[in-house]
Amino acid sequence: MIAKAPTPLMSGAARLREQLSRGELVAAPGAPDCLTARLVENAGFTAVYMTGLGATAMRLGQPDLGLMTQTEMAAHARAMVRAVRIPLIADADTGYGGPLNVRRTVEEYLQAGVAALHLEDQESPKRCGQLAGVRIVPRREAELRIAAAVAARTEANADLVIIGRTDALQAEGLEAALDRARSYRDLGADLVFVDGVKTRAEAEGIARGLEGPKVISQVDGTDASTLTRAELAEMGFSIVLYAVTTLFAACSAIERALAHLSSAGSPDGLTGQMSYAEYCKIVGLDRFQAFAHDHEAQDRR
C-alpha cells in the first residue's frame, strides 16, 4: 500500500494572513538576495521583503529605474522563497503592462510562492519612490490594475495578499495619495501602501487619514525612519518594510573591507569579519552534508 502523503505545509500567504489577523505589526526587513533573506529569518523576523531596488542592485548593479523585467523579478522572488521558511512580501512594480500582464504577474508570483505583492500606480518605466520626478498614471488606470490583480487571485482561488501602493504623496500631495489608497482598498486590496514617506508628519497624516490595514516603508536616513515599531503599531500600521537597511549595511561593510584589503595588502587585521564556520552555519552546510551522507552509497570499495 502506498502511504498517504503528509499534509502540505501552510502557504506563505496563509501564514502572513495569520500574522496580520493577530493585529500585531509585521516587521519585514528588505533582502536584496537569498543569503540576506536567510539572515533576516535567522534574526527572528517573521517576514521578509523583496525590494525592487535591492533586486535591481544585486542582479544588475544598477539603479531602481524599472530596468528589471517581470520574468526577472518573478525568478528572483522564486529563489528567495525557496531560501527561507518565512513569508515573502514582493515588489511587483506596476504589474508590467495592461490587465492581462497584471494577471500573468499574479500567476507567476503565485507559482513562485510569494505571500504578498504590491502593485503601484506609477507610469512605466517606474522609479524608486524616494526619487524626485515620480510620475503616476490616471487614477482610473491605477484602479484597473488593482481590480485585475484581485480578479486574477480570485480565479486562482489563492490566499495571496494584495497590497495597493500609491506614489501620489510626493507627486500630488497627501490628500490625493489618501484618496487613491482608499479606492484601492475598496477594489479589494488587502492592505494599502502610501510610498515615498520621508517625514514623521507624513506618516502621522497617513495614519490619521487612512483607516484599515496599511503598510509603511521606512528608508534609512529620513526623518520618518526615526519612528519606532512601537510608535508605528500605535498609529495603526499593519506592516513596516525596512526596504534598504540590509543593502546599505552590506555595501558599507564591503567598501570598508575592500579599503582595508587595498591599503593593508591582506585581510589580516580586518575587524568584524565573520568566520568560515559562522558562514557555513548561515547557509546550512551541516544539513546538506547530513542529507548527502544519508543517501550516498556508503560502500566505496
Listed by start position, the domains of the chain span 12-251
What angle, 0 to 180 degrees and rounded to 10, lies between the N-to-C axes of helices 139-156 and 174-186? 30
- CATH code for the part of the protein at 12-251: 3.20.20.60
DSSP letters of 65-126? Answer: SS-S-HHHHHHHHHHHHHH-SS-EEEE-TT-SSSHHHHHHHHHHHHHHT-SEEEE--BPSS-
> What pLDDT, in 10s, does the model give residues 32-56?
999 999 999 999 999 999 999 999 9
Is the predicted pLDDT of residue 6 greater than 50, yes or no?
Answer: no
State how far the Cα of 210 lies from the Cα of 208, in Å rounded to an integer.
6
pLDDT at 132 over 80: no
Q: What is the pLDDT of residue 150?
A: 98
pLDDT tens-digit map of 259-288:
999 999 999 888 888 888 998 999 888 998
Q: What is the DSSP letter of 25?
A: P
Other C-beta atoms within 10 Å of 98: how many?
A: 12
Name, of 122-131, 138-147, 278-287, the range with top average pLDDT.
Answer: 138-147
Find where cell 500567504 sits.
13
DSSP 214: E
Residue positions annotated with a catalytic role: 128
Does residue 125 register a pLDDT over 90? no
